[in-house]
Amino acid sequence: MAGAASALFLLDIKGRVLVWRDYRGDVSAAQAERCFTKLIEKEGDPQSQDPVVYDDGVTYMYIQHNNVYLMTASRQNCNAASLLLFLHRVVDVFKHYFEELEEESLRDNFVVVYELLDEIMDFGYPQYTEAKILSEFIKTDAYRMEVTQRPPMAVTNAVSWRSEGIRYKKNEVFLDVVESVNILVNSNGQIVRSDVVGALKMRTYLSGMPECKLGLNDRVLLEAQGRATKGKAIDLDDIKFHQCVRLARFENDRTISFIPPDGSFDLMTYRLSTQVKPLIWVEAQVERHSRSRMEMTVKARSQFKERSTATNVEIELPVPSDATNPNIRTSMGSSTYAPENDALVWKIKSFPGGKEYMLRAEFTLPSITAEEPLPERKAPIRVKFEIPYFTVSGIQVRYLKIIEKSGYQALPWVRYITMAGEYELRLI
Amino acid sequence: MSGHDSKYFSTTKKGEIPELKEELNSQYKDKRKDAVKKVIAAMTVGKDVSSLFTDVVNCMQTENLELKKLVYLYLINYAKSQPDLAILAVNTFVKDSQDPNPLIRALAVRTMGCIRVDKITEYLCDPLQRCLKDDDPYVRKTAAICVAKLYDINAELVEDRGFLEALKDLISDNNPMVVANAVAALAEIQEHSSKPVFEITSHTLSKLLTALNECTEWGQVFILDALSKYRAADAREAENIVERVTPRLQHANCAVVLSAVKMILQQMELITSTDVVRNLCKKMAPPLVTLLSAEPEIQYVALRNINLIVQKRPTILAHEIKVFFCKYNDPIYVKMEKLEIMIKLASDRNIDQVLLEFKEYATEVDVDFVRKAVRAIGRCAIKLERAAERCISVLLELIKIKVNYVVQEAIIVIKDIFRRYPNTYESIIATLCESLDTLDEPEAKASMIWIIGEYAERIDNADELLESFLESFPEEPAQVQLQLLTATVKLFLKKPTEGPQQMIQVVLNNATVETDNPDLRDRAYIYWRLLSTDPEAAKDVVLAEKPVISDDSNQLDPSLLDELLANIATLSSVYHKPPEAFVTRVKTSQRTEEDDFADGSETGNSESPAYAPDSSTSPPASSSSAQYAGRQAVAAPAASAAPALVPDLLDLGLDNSSAIVSVDQPATPAGPPLPVLLPAATGQGLQISAQLVRRDGQIFYSMLFENNSQIPLDGFMIQFNKNTFGLAAGGPLQVPQLQPGTSASTLLPMVLHQNISPGPPSTLLQVAVKNNQQPVWYFSDAVSFLVFFAEDGKMERSTFLETWKSLPDSNEVSKDFPGIVMNSVEVTLDRLAASNMFFIAKRKHANQEVLYLSTKIPRGVPFLIEITAVIGIPGLKCAIKTPSPEMAPLFFEALENLLKS
């Protein structure tokens, strides 16, 4: 079962090798390049788009980021999940170093790229991908010091994500609770699937090695403590923690305790698969008058309490690709025709709860059509929005205790926001 | 933090190399550093800068870490091409491995391990020994991996110097990162060692489970993967392990989650308490669902794995089908996999919703996805009897949209539905007939023709419909021709009127005299003879009851499934193939042989006359046997007055263009007993032994059936799952009724290239055998690659040389067989020749014998073979060159078996 990558390639958009690191000497760059360019050429074939490809005894796994492909090659039965995830982490490391990962930034920094490839993977085994700590001992020219660096303790410590000796004048923690609502409504108006994916995003500016403890209104915990669940306690379906959280401790008594990394990270994500009422409901009626004109009537309704307000609402309505001459009126907000996406985009800056707005649009259609019309791309209506100070799940941060041996007081700031994730209504 | 390194790429003047050489030897530090950067830049864009080796190595002794790293990188790349000069670097390496800075110590050991030059390796041992006991964990963790590197280059050295012991000690290291890397290294070494190197005891297990809590996410994956091989002693221990692993399901890293799932599933096998199992299933569902919010590539891996998990434990995700509904923006590879799982999870309870989804997908624009969605509807109809009617009505709605490829796909699946539920839904035939003229794909056409033939008595104008196809009979693809032939015969038997009578004349004429396709011709002759001698018998044969089909496509054999589940998260689970099928680890250190070959073959030329007498004694009668094979195919139909009780196997699968090639009463195969594939204990008393054999240029499945049960068994039938070689039955299985306590053997002719499974080659052949009394038996067999070697694989010497040269080096694969001894060239050659590997030339190289041989597999793919060995001394090396190097592992496996025995 053991297995590791033979080599890691960074390729340009045409599949040519930009930089590569050979870890095992059993896959050549020419071989990989040949296979990959072949793959890019036959783009239309769905089989060729699989991220795991077998060719000539070698398995290639790749991801794309901007105009760069990252790819591993292997001759063994290696852990596919781990290597693919590792590639995504490599992207994060490069982004931390060069702000953006693209062909140019790789060329401009090839020396550091080689250094990093040497450090993050050894003999094809992923080693270390904490960008923040890596940058303590692998530096770009601008930050390079002439003193010889040593590996930071954190690289091999149990706390591998945080270095010691961090100092802040003012100790602060920002905690954002962000919930994305995913919803799929089918063409007869039925909610096929809905779930909420939440994330606790943290930014920490704390000195030393702070010990943190987070309390949520988690039903399992509150009941275990024998507390009357006054107010709302919630059931979280699946919780995923950043590696800093002690999982065994959580399993034991549901306490979320951790030493946080410095800066921003996702402390935890969770999922709720309860049926949620669509926060913004959109109905659209399309009428085709004669062959050359169509009329669209769209109603958007906010289905949350009046005291909340959705902001930056964007409703993307699909229109036929051959529609022209739009004539649009809205009762609120503005709308633009985006022919490049075959869509009409209706933007409403502020949408209070319990309101309903309308849009009417008229398009001209060509009067001549193909005899056997091809099926049209049936895009769903897609909605984007944000509702600040509101969560669907009702999750609440009850406390965030921060204890450091120097005994400083730290200020936690908590914010809540709900936004649309994959919000699709197949209505037209 | 952007750099400006790109300037180093831009110095492409004419005198680049001399210029660089000068700069590398500059007295100024900065200039030297810049020059090394330029060299690395040139190396990056693929220029050969190996000529600067000495100059670059001279820059190695530096305080500057960045410069040192670059020189090391250069060494990794070019040391192999300059092995003699590489020795220059050794001193610095050894010195660096004792540097006060741990970063440099680790760097030196890490780099030395990457240089695959024997001379360097020798000097690696002492520094490695020191570094394994270094005070700094960063150095120790690097040294741990370095042991695996050294093992890859020189396994003996690792064993002799006691590095394995040192590595095992590191498992108890106080640093979690060191432990994780030691585990990874040991697991890898174990994979390639025949000795027990890394045995997990309950003591190490508990130690590693503790380390799990403290190491990095990647380290956790190493440990979980290694531990998943551990077999708990009893249910109690299994429960304890599971308890300690379950917290990992909450980890943000998907790879950690999947490896934890793997481990839990493994241990669950041992747990007897149904409550515990149920509880675990409940615990695993949410993390599995959450994997679908990961990056699409990870989702793909997760979906391939979930596909396996739901086959083993369908209850885990039984209520979660909705999460597999496709999102509009999912990449196509994710959508395809989701569809597959939706079919698996479809049940009477959720079918309405699922059908609504499939219908939605069937109107999208991506043709392949649409087709798969239509097919999915059909598969649900076959799987769920109570939902079949609803499925059909959805299919009919889709046909009404009149999108060409949707209609064709729908007809293909409706054909299967008719097979599954005979005499139930024929009322829709009229609707299908309306779309007759839009069909242009062979499979759809063949399906429609099958439907017309099968239900000829209910379609008033069946004769007209078939006639419309007949005009173009000669131009149709074989698949359609075969169906037309059978359908016309069915029509004639059902409505023996004048019209069909004329049609049958035309068809039989077309299918016998006018065609070159032996399958078609043979089938036509059988029908002809049947019709002319005994029309009633013809009725019995052609219109016989067909066995009911079920949707077992994409359902894996239980033993394979278990193996794949033990490999969750790995490539094996993505491919749904066992690791042996695609792992091709070739040792790279022996790639220098290629150059030798050119002159080697010349010596082979000059020396071979001496060998001529031998070669003439051993060649197989290839020409005569080929002739015989050809004759047999023609002669066979006459011999087979197919007994009436043989069911209509011709229609078993539409794409199975099987010709009945019957063999004269199967003689008991001589030679060693056949391997038992289905032991009597599993087969309720029925024992099946079988093996593929090659006889006179034709492949047969030699089978032995033993009935140890209490009841007579009859009506035996066989089917083969998709496999690498597309092996399928070339005729019906001829086994008479088996009384209790009796046995029967048979030779089943096999055909190739029928139902080829995609993906990496594998020797796996999955077989299903059924009879009228028992459930269907599934078992699997390992194909010996030898049976494919054709009798006409001998090459002219000149052709051999040309072919060798024309194939790129990447097509060469070699392998060592340390355990094999060649005692005599002649005996070895005889043995190889008996398996159709033909001698071309030989030469002597020092005390080694080098033999060149050739062979050929179907479709004319040649294998050029080079075997090197010293007479009487264990150890044989084989290099092959072929247009299909992916077959190399199969070849080597077969060769090893042949020479070992």
Choose, out of B37, B282, B297, B317, the residue to mutate when testing the contact with A (most A CBs < 10 Å): B297
In this structure, the dihedral spanned by the alpha carbons of residues B573, B575, B576 and B582, taken in order and rounded to 10 degrees, is -100
| Residues of chain A contacting residue B64, judged by C-beta atoms under 8 Å apart | 146
Of B110, B229, B286, the CB nearest to A122: B110
- Percent of chain B exceeding pLDDT 90 equals 36
Show which of residues 761-780 on chain B sit within 8 Å of chain A, judged by CB atoms: none
**What confidence tier does B2 reach under pLDDT thresholds 50, 70, 90?**
low
| Domain B5-231 class in CATH | mainly alpha
Q: Which of A20-29, A401-410, B794-803 has the lowest mean pLDDT?
A: B794-803
Is residue A77's pLDDT more than 60?
Answer: yes
Predicted confidence band of residue B386 (pLDDT cuts 50, 70, 90): very high
Are A50 and B286 an interchain contact pair (Cβ–Cβ within 8 Å)? Answer: no
Ranges A226-230, B106-110, B839-843: which has the least confidence = A226-230
* Of the candidate ranges A7-21, B370-384, B637-651, B726-740, the one whose mean pLDDT is the lowest: B637-651
**Assigned superfamily of B593-620+791-900:** TATA-Binding Protein (3.30.310.10)
**pLDDT > 50? residue B271:** yes
Whether the CB-CB separation of B433 and B465 falls below 8 Å is answered with yes
Tally A–B CB contacts below 8 A.
334
What digits encode the pLDDT tens for the residues A179-197?
A: 999 999 988 888 888 989 9
Of the residues B571, B811, B886, B891, the best mutation for testing chain A's interface (the one with the most A CB atoms within 10 Å of its CB) is B571
Chain A residues within 8 A of B101 when measuring between CB atoms: 148, 150
Tens of pLDDT, residues B273-313: 999 999 999 999 999 999 999 999 999 999 999 999 999 99
Domains A172-276+392-425 and A280-368+378-388 share a fold: yes
The rounded distance, in Å, linking the Cα atoms of B776 and B548 is 12
- Supply the mean pLDDT for chain B: 83
| Least confident segment among A9-23, B472-486, B612-626 | B612-626
Residues A281, A190: Cα–Cα separation, whole Å: 12
Helix/strand/coil percentages in chain A, nearest 5: 20, 45, 40
Contact B44 A18 (CB under 8 A): yes
pLDDT at position B554 is 66
Cβ-based neighbours of B556, under 8 Å, separated by 6 or more: B308, B311, B564, B576
Which two structure tokens, joined as six digits, stand for B799? Answer: 């052709």
List, for residues B592-633, the tens digit of each pLDDT value: 333 333 333 333 333 333 333 333 333 333 333 333 333 333
User: Chain B 319-338, CB below 8 Å of chain A: which residues?
Assistant: 322-323, 325, 327-329, 331-333, 336
Cα separation of A23 and B148, whole Å?
12
Q: A67-71, A171-175, A269-273, B3-7: lowest mean pLDDT where?
A: B3-7
Identify the closest residue of chain B to A379 by CA–CA distance: B328
Comparing CB atoms, the residue among A2, A115, A156 nearest residue B188 is: A2
Q: DSSP characters for B173-228?
A: -S-HHHHHHHHHHHHHHHHH-SS------HHHHHHHHHHHTTS-HHHHHHHHHHHT
Residues of chain A with C-beta less than 8 angstroms from the C-beta of B566: 1
Is A251 in contact with B250 (Cβ distance < 8 A)?
yes
Mean pLDDT over B326-334 rounds to 91
CA A223 – CA B762 distance, rounded (Å)? 54
**Residue A83: what pLDDT?**
96
Cross-strand partners of A294: A288, A363
Looking at CA atoms only, how far is residue A75 from chain B in angstroms?
A: 5
Sequence spans of domains, chain A: 7-155, 172-276+392-425, 280-368+378-388
The CATH number fitting domain A172-276+392-425, selected from 1.20.58.110, 3.40.50.300, 2.60.40.1170, 2.30.110.10: 2.60.40.1170
* pLDDT value for B343: 94
pLDDT number for residue B255: 96
Residue B337's nearest CA partner among A272, A379, A52, A57 is A52
The pLDDT value given to residue A8: 96
Question: B52-67 as b/e, with b when 16 or more CB fall inside 10 Å?
Answer: bbebbbebbebebbbb
Residue B713 is classified by DSSP as: B
Spell out where A128-259 has E strands: 172-185, 191-205, 211-216, 238-241, 256-258
Residues of B in contact with A125 (CB under 8 A): 145, 181, 184, 218, 222
Q: Quote the CA–CA distance of B377 and B390 in Å, as a whole number.
A: 10
**Is there a contact between A426 and B297 if contact means CB atoms under 8 Å apart?**
no
A53-77 average pLDDT score: 93
To the nearest whole percent, how much of chain B has pLDDT over 70?
A: 89
The encoded tokens of residue A166 equal: 């961090």
Q: Sign of torsion, CA B816 B821 B826 B829?
A: negative
Average pLDDT of span B734-751: 84
Helix locations, B732-850, DSSP H: 797-806, 825-834
Distance from CA of A393 to the nearest CA of B (A): 17
Q: What is the pLDDT of residues B622-670, one digit of tens each?
A: 333 333 333 333 333 333 333 333 333 333 333 333 333 333 333 344 4
| Interchain CB contact of B286 with A (< 8 Å) | yes
Of B531, B509, B530, the residue nearest B520 (C-alpha): B509
**Confidence (pLDDT) at A49:** 81
Reference B861, options B783, B755, B782, B761; nearest CA is: B761
Q: Is B9 on the interface with A (CB under 8 A)?
A: yes
B91 touches chain A (CB under 8 A): no
Residue B390 predicted with pLDDT over 90: yes
- Chain B residues with CB under 8 Å of A64 CB are none
Q: What's the whole-number mean pLDDT along residues A362-387?
A: 80
**Distance of residue A294 Cα from the nearest chain B Cα, in angstroms:** 21
Mean pLDDT value across residues B741-764: 82
Contacts of A421 in chain B (CB under 8 A): none
Residue B683, CA distances (Å) to A207, B549, B702, B706, B771 in order? 69, 21, 19, 10, 11
Instruction: Choose, out of A27, A42, A54, the residue to mutate when testing the contact with B (most B CBs < 10 Å).
Output: A54
pLDDT of residue A228: 60
Work out the minimum CA distance from A254 to partner chain B, whole angstroms.
Answer: 11
pLDDT at B648: 37
Single out the residue of B747, B730, B661, B697 nearest to residue B858, CA to CA.
B697
Q: What is the pLDDT of residue B700?
A: 86
Q: Tell me if A109 and B3 make a contact (CB, 8 A cut-off).
A: yes
Q: Testing the interface with A: which of B328, B353, B814 to mutate, by most A Cβ within 10 A? A: B328
The answer to whether the Cβ–Cβ distance between A149 and B103 falls below 8 Å is yes
Q: Please state which CATH class domain A280-368+378-388 belongs to.
A: mainly beta
State the pLDDT at residue A142: 53
Question: What is residue A68's predicted lDDT score, i.e. its pLDDT?
Answer: 94
Judge whether residue B181 has pLDDT over 90.
yes
Please, are residues B131 and B142 in contact by the beta-carbon 8 Å criterion? yes
| B10/A188: higher pLDDT | A188
| Nearest CB to B2; choose among A56, A109, A377 | A109
Q: Tell me which range, A208-217, A273-282, B504-513, B549-558, is most confidently predicted by mean pLDDT.
A: A208-217
**Is pLDDT above 70 for B583?**
yes
Which one, of B326, B76, B332, B259, lies nearest residue A118 by Cα? Answer: B76
Mean pLDDT calculated for residue range B222-246: 92
User: Could you tell me if A297 and A360 are in contact, meaning their C-beta atoms sit under 8 angstroms apart?
Assistant: yes
**CB-CB: which of A160, A184, A242 is closest to B252?**
A242
Binary contact (B103, A137; C-beta < 8 A): yes
Question: Does residue B130 register a pLDDT over 60?
Answer: yes
Task: Provide ipTM, 2 decimals.
Answer: 0.89
Fold of the domain spanning A7-155:
Beta-Lactamase (3.30.450)
pLDDT at residue B660, rounded to an integer: 34
Q: Locate A413 and state its tokens.
A: 């700031």
The full set of domain ranges for chain B reads 5-231, 441-543, 593-620+791-900, 627-787
The chain B residue lying nearest A157, using CA atoms, is B175
User: Is pLDDT above 90 for A42?
Assistant: no
Q: What is the pLDDT of residue B600?
A: 37
| Interface residue B65 vs chain A (CB under 8 A) | yes
Q: Which fold has domain B627-787?
A: Immunoglobulin-like (2.60.40)
Rounded-to-integer distance, Cα A360 and Cα A285, Å: 10
B252 to A266: CB separation less than 8 angstroms, yes or no: yes
A140/A209: higher pLDDT: A209
